[in-house]
Amino acid sequence: MQNLLVSLMLWVQAYLGSPVLSPVPVVQLLDPVQWEQALVSEGGGDNIIAFYSTETLTISLRDTWSPLDVYDQGTLVHEIVHVFQHQVPQR
């Protein structure tokens, strides 16, 4: 997971022309019970499939997430963009 995360972050960084981020966010895969608890604490709704916490610098994904699924990879890229939005000052 870490290699995929760093590779996707470098791709997003190059695409956006942003500085390299540090620290690299933590990615956690949550089972259904953990997912519901996390959504409540983040104030999320029913249609959330992943989220980035600016408090813990953590990307949370459902435990059904697969690095081999292109849709799931796209979900991770989407959350990585939120990481950049949070950590890089807007131009």
Return the structure tokens found at 62: 């459902």
Note the pTM of the prediction, 2 decimals: 0.89
Question: What's the rounded Cα separation, in Å, for the pair 76 and 67?
Answer: 9
- pLDDT value, residue 43: 82
Residue 9 and residue 80 in contact, taking contact as beta carbons nearer than 8 Å:
yes
Per-residue pLDDT tens for 23-60? 889 999 999 999 999 988 888 777 899 999 999 999 99
Per-residue pLDDT tens for 56-83? 999 999 999 999 999 999 999 999 999 9
Return the structure tokens found at 8: 């996707």
